[in-house]
Structures are given as structure tokens and as C-alpha cells.
Amino acid sequence: MKIEFVAAAGACEILALLVHDGRQFAGAGAEVDTRTGGALSRAIGKSRVTGAAGQSLNVAGTSGADADTVVLIGAGDGGAFDDLAIEAAGANAYHAVKLSGAECLTIDAAHLSPEQAARIAFAVRLASYRFDKYRTTEKPEKKPSITSVRVVASDIRAAESALEPLAAVAEAVEFSRDLVSEPANVLYPAEFARRVKELERLGLGVEILGEAEMEKLGMRTLLAVGQGSRRESQLAVIQWKGGAEGEQPIAFVGKGVCFDTGGISIKPSEGMEDMKWDMGGAAAVSGLMHALAGRKAKVNAIGVLGLVENMPDGNAQRPGDVVVSMSGQTVEVINTDAEGRLVLADALWYTQERFKPKFMIDLATLTGAMIVALGLDYAGVFSNSDEVADNVLAAAPKVGENFWRMPIPSIYEKHIDSQIADVKNVGNGRAGGSITAALFLQRFTNGVPWAHLDIAPTAWTNKSINPTVPDGAVGFGVRTLDRMVADAYEG
């Protein structure tokens, strides 16, 4: 997709004009209406379109409008046209015409600030994401026809420079979505690590630890998850040094289970294919580090990814096994399908011990129980620090991601006490399954300020409610954490 800023409409088959609530034309709308002899107001008058967000109306045969077709895009309340409303309007302009057969779309944003015009370009880019590298026989009429979007801006230079940091975020979200979309026969731990290693081109430092190195460090709970797989487990350590030399870093840790069969506690076959995206936490951390480097964020940040494949095998761990974690705590593995917490236990311990961070935030598609609790459009936040939790919760709504804070009450600690080891990896029965998982993780944080984001509900969507998020891999968490870092930890 080619997206560029232009000084005036023209030369494209379709022109998108924004309409606010109350059928108020924005920008060039009123003028184009006059030039077309009132074609726009006649069409809107006969339609149900009011200007509400999500509505659109095609008006064909608009000679005099600089385009064959005008598409009116509902942009909602004109007095509350904030960043998210602008993104929705830009994304919806693309969606309204993407299958029309036209190749070029102009979006009128000349009446908006250069920053807002840039945000429209950013939204079109996010909305037009597709993972189609494995589709070889798709009929042309099913593919989006739009290949070029031109955003009319009042100041092209200013819009271009406002787009730079947004483009860095968009590229990072795309990187994260690609990782999540890839099937597990392609994206196994070493391949994930290889793709992350390539991020060194952005100025990130990337170390990859293999099984021998993790063995030396005593990371037995992580290694136990991967021991039933033919694919070697990996730990990726990503560093961004954009802050002052010696300044304490902030740290992000991702669950990267490249495929989760459940192991010996094997999952039912129905829906098991979804478990290719059980690395969504690691993909979000990778995307975040990509974004921080891409926009040269003034912060020191660490990303740690625990990359494994959870398979049943003659060498797989068994229910009832006791494993010694890097922290020294012993873990009784009651259920091999509660593997994410085993991976994170060592990854969190390693992160705090090596980097002494200000805080750690882990992201993980950790529990099906999170989906039961919050439904598919909210992720859970569990934290021992109001400050860290509040910073996540303040950033998320600004970028269109939904989080809800969950409790981690100590009265449930007894549910994960083991008869024969220090802790067991599941609670008693299914009650509070996401909470007992968070309590388990907390035992491996060594008291460092920490938040755990359970993104099981949101890492993948088949029913997106956000026009900048196509169905499939969401890249969930990248934008929230990037925004949180920008708002609370830079400079």
C-alpha cells in the first residue's frame, strides 16, 4: 500500500469526505456539494446516514468533484474528534472502498492539522494490514483493489514529519502481527529468535541464549516446557539504550509458546490450531522494542522473550514432575498445559536478577479463564504496583486497547501451595484460574514492581470492533506499552 500526502484532491477515482453528526460536511464537503450541483446533500438526504462513526455512503457519478465517486465517511461528533475518532474515520474510509475495484483513494484532510492528517495515514496503514503470503489462488475480486491512498494535507512537510513516529509504531505493529500470524511449522523458537536478531538493524542489541546456556543458568522450569519438543528452546534478550548511560532500565517479558499442544496434559483437538498464537506476548514485546528503536525513544528498555514449543513426547515432562526454577523455588507441575507460567517464572527471575529494572511488565496469552472473566475485548492487568498498573491503564484508552484491572489477593495463595514442593503450577479446580496464574508469577518477581498482562482474550480476533485492527493477529499491547513509555518514562 502506497500512502502519501498531497496538496489537493484529483487524479484518484474516489474521494473520501468526512461528515460529522447532524450531516455536517467537514473540510471540502460543502464546496464539493456545490460543485456537484448538490449531489452530495441529495444523496445523504435520501439515506440513513447521519454522520455517525462507522457509517459510509457512496455517491457515484460526481462530475465536478475531482473524482468519479465520492464516499461520505461518518466521523461522529465534530466537537469530539479526538485521535481515536480520527483513526476510525481514516480506517473506515479505506474499508468503505477497499473492494470497490478502484485503485486509488484520496482522503480529504486539508481542514485538519498536519498531525491529524498524519494520523489518518497511520490508521489507513494499520487498517490495510493483511497476512496473505500463503495465498496463491485468491481471486482478484476478493483482494482489496486499493493500492494507493492520498491524504490531502494543509502542510505536506509537517504531515510527513508528524507521520515519522507513527510510522515507526505501525511498522512495529505489523512486525508483531506477522509473528502472531505465522504458523508454528514456520515460526518455531529458533526462527522467532532469528527474526528478532534481525532487529539489530534498528540499533537494538539482541542476544540469543540456547538450551545449554539456559541450563547453566538453572532455568529448569522454562526448559522443562520445551523438553518434549524437537525444536530447541531459546531466550531472546533485547536491549534498547535510548536513555542516559547507567539509567535504570524498564523491562518487558513475553510468553513465547510457539505452539501449545498442552503437552502430556494434551488439549482437545478442536480449536488447537489457535495455539499457534500462544506466542502473542513475546510478539508484543518484540513489537514494542521495534517501536522504541524505530522512534528513538529516550529510555533504556529491556525485552526478554521465553521461546518454547509445548509438545507431548517420550521426553516431555509429566504431570507430577518437580522442577527447580532459576529462583531456587521448586515447582510441582500438576498440569503440563499450564506451561506459560513455567516459562515466565524463569524469564522474570532472570530479568530482575540481571537488569535490576525499575519495573517488569509481562505479557502472556496465559489463561482461557481470562476470556471467561472479561470476554474477548478486554485484557487483564494484575499488578503489585498501583503506579505501574495506573500507567498501563492510562495509556491503553488513548490507543484503542482495553484493559481491566484484576485482583491478586493473598487469600488465594494457598490454592497454589504444593504438598511436596514450594508451589504447584495450577490452583484447585478452575475457580479464579487467571488469578492463581498471576499469583504464581508473582512468586518469581522478587518483589520488583511488576504487572502481568493476560492477553489471552485479545491477541487474536475473529470479530474486530476496531477499524484499525483487521481480523486475525492484533499486535495487541504494542501500542499501549509504546504509549505508556512515551507518556510516563521518557526524558
The catalytic residues are 267, 341
Query: Does 337 help bind ligand BES (rule: CB under 6 A)?
Result: yes
Based on CB atoms, which residue is closest to ligand BES, 310 or 351? 310
Binding residues among 221-260 for ligand BES as defined by CB under 6 A: 260
Based on CB atoms, which residue is closest to ligand BES, 62 or 442? 442
Based on CB atoms, which residue is closest to ligand BES, 218 or 368? 368
Dihedrals phi, psi of 221, to nearest 5 degrees: -70, -35
Stretch of 141-149, 161-169, 313-321, 338-346 lying at the interface with ligand BES (CB under 6 A): 338-346
CB of 425 to ligand BES, least distance (A): 8
- The single residue among 33, 278, 401, 482 that binds ligand BES, judged by CB under 6 A, is 278
Query: Does 433 help bind ligand BES (rule: CB under 6 A)?
Result: yes
Query: Does 182 help bind Zn ion (rule: CB under 5 A)?
Result: no
- The single residue among 426, 435, 481, 485 that binds ligand BES, judged by CB under 6 A, is 426
CB of 310 to ligand BES, least distance (A): 7
Based on CB atoms, which residue is closest to ligand BES, 278 or 332? 278
Dihedrals phi, psi of 308, to nearest 5 degrees: -145, 170
Binding residues among 263-282 for Zn ion as defined by CB under 5 A: 278
Residue nearest to ligand BES (CB): 368
Query: Does 369 help bind ligand BES (rule: CB under 6 A)?
Result: yes
Per-residue binding string, Zn ion, 327-346, x by CB under 5 A, is ----------x-xx------
Binding residues among 70-99 for ligand BES as defined by CB under 6 A: none
CB of 241 to ligand BES, least distance (A): 33
Query: Does 454 help bind Zn ion (rule: CB under 5 A)?
Result: no
Per-residue binding string, Zn ion, 198-237, x by CB under 5 A, is ----------------------------------------
Contacts of 280 (CB under 8 A, 6+ apart): 180, 255, 363, 365, 455, 459, 460, 473, 474, 476, 477
Based on CB atoms, which residue is closest to Zn ion, 108 or 339? 339
Binding residues among 443-462 for ligand BES as defined by CB under 6 A: 456
CB of 262 to Zn ion, least distance (A): 5
Query: Does 257 help bind Zn ion (rule: CB under 5 A)?
Result: yes
The entry of Zn ion, ligand BES, none that residue 426 binds, CB within 5 to 8 Å by partner kind: ligand BES
Question: Rule CB under 6 A: which residues touch ligand BES?
Answer: 260, 278, 335, 337-340, 365, 367-369, 426, 433, 456
Question: Rule CB under 5 A: which residues touch Zn ion?
Answer: 257, 260, 278, 337, 339-340
